[in-house]
Chains A and B, each alone.
Chain A
Amino acid sequence: MSEKIGKHIAIYGKGGIGKSTTASNISAALTDSGYRVIQIGCDPKSDSTTILRGGNDLPTVLDTLREQSKLRIEDISAIGFGGVLCIEAGGPVPGVGCAGRGINAAVELLQELNVFDEFKPDFVLYDVLGDVVCGGFAVPIRDGLADRAFVVTSSDFMAIFAANNLFKAVNKYAPSGGARLGGVIANSILAAYAPELIDDFAEKTGTNVIGYVPRSLVVAQSELYGKTVIEAAPQSEQAQVYRNLAKYIDENEDSVIPKPLNSPELKKWAREWGDRIFEVETGVVHEMASI
């Protein structure tokens, strides 16, 4: 059996948290460092690689599902910024069909097309939609696809809650060959307490934060231009943040099986943080509090 080609990374996180933006910028940073990168959007919205492709259209893998005759990689991909191979799995329109089955079928089709053998990537990023509501969306972290998964979260409780749930999925599949957790990516960092909150959550669940991405106008502006920060503002501080993330993923192979908190533990943890934030507002000083 041939060795898997390239390092396969899956990116998960609450819907709207910034996965696609983060993934696209990491891909751009990796390609900028000279690596061959494939980014595969696993979301029926098909919007994962938009900012790598200047907003141009791209036929999805599932669009070509019924094509019996010789399908080529060029039919379902586009070369984006810096040579990143962009692929969108696609899926049904909202309210119809089964997107989870779609992800499974799309991944199978990519294997049939021998995409990895042909393109020979150094990195493959699977950007998976936020709400992992059924087995199909876990396909990238099971079936031996991704080696590591990273979960993107902000300091908002809803994002932490989602991250905790995603840890359950990783926890389930990792022992039988599924992806292990590479770490947490802290996104949209604005409030002063945010990094520490996310750090604390990571520590309690047996993992760590691999990078902190500040909330930034540069990101919003670049996106409106249909570009990644690496392309639109390569000298900016924000670009360096993404480059550091890419560097971590490249140089670090650490991964763990996370220990998600159960419902009462999570509630208790949240309440405690609620109290700490209140104290920050009202100026209470504690020993060892490094806010």
Chain B
Amino acid sequence: MATKVVMEALSPTMEEGRLVEWKKQEGEPVTVGDVLAEVETDKAVMELVARAGGTLLKHIVEAGATVPVSEPVAVIGEPGEDGSGAAGQREGGAERQRAGKPQTQPARSQATQPAPDRDQPTSMPPAPPAQAVIETSDATRPSPGPAKTATPPGAGSRVRASPLAKRMAAERGVDLSALAGSGPEGRIIARDLAGVAEASSTGVTPAPLPRRPTAPLTPYTDVPLTQIRKTIARRLAQSIGPIPTFYLTSEVDMERLWDSREALTAGQRGSTEAGQQVKISFNDIIIKAVGMALRQHPACNAWWQEDHIRYWNEVHVSMAVAVEEGLITPVIRHADQKGLREIAAETRDLAGRARERRLKPEEYTGGTFSVSNLGMLDIDEFTAVINPPEAGILAVGRIVRKPVAEQEQVALRRRMRITMSCDHRVIDGATGAQFLQTLKGMLENPLALVW
């Protein structure tokens, strides 16, 4: 009885596969477990394995063809049997695919074949060889499938997972086929995803956070809270207060920035328009750098909104200004996009009017991240209190010359300590640290600011 071998979904997201190379030629005997062909999925090159024996009567598609999932690719039957009947049942789709693709997607040459160790193809997640689905009407054929109890997670293409686990995996960008399920028959359930890092294990990196978009921006993107995010929020808030804050401190070498600013201000002094120039402060540069670093780390440019997190696609840096009755935080809007002179003029204007209490409400609300600087008051370092709903604030200490190790010697260098307070419901330790790393890099290499 001739049977069809069809393209199976070899990864959870696979919709079609490219048949890289036939490993069994027409007329060759086939036994259970033989590799029939290599198939390139959207993730890796995998093997199409026969689960029933006989003779490979016919290749329905040629090597190089791209075949939609569940379309037939070959016919297996008894020696001498005419496979054209079964082959003739294929749908038109495969035919079109075969006709349309060979020129543009030729079979790989031998030299570019994957590694000869078929059991461990390169760059593939730890999944067993894929198995071809055998459609047959021969009811007496013994089931070639592996025993249920022995089915490792990810065997075949069917990943058993509860609807909740699937949803959680989709939200976190986790590949379920890489997980072991602890439920009945290897079903992946919610607890199996506990502690699984986002976008783990597959090398595929879906973006759970919005990246810098190229299309026209909406001002922000609201992201519903995932289960893990809800739990983190609840547990940490319980532990520390309404805003579970943690602090990250980094020491920045300011020599280059110091020199750059000296050069800038010297240039200003020499300029004929000096009267109209605004002196650029370190704080202005820090605001600019924070804005640009936030652009690279949108995870820190966010608001906690109780039932969701608002990731801002615009960067508005709040600047803490001491006034007579306390402090106020005027906002430098689109700080990432503005030039230093523009920022300097704006901070001067805003700070001045803040002290005169002449700020309009819209000028001190709507920030997405704050900067507080006590360096001019000789503070080495400090921790600042988050300005909710913002999720982070940078506390800037003074620039001080101190001995540091430099190429096996002790040198005097200008250093500045910055401390970021993070709302742990929004920002995790590594996320905040990466932002701080970028910021430090920018301050230590001021050229980065003109990128």
* A and B: bona fide binding partners: no
Residues of B near any A CB (own CB < 8 A)? none
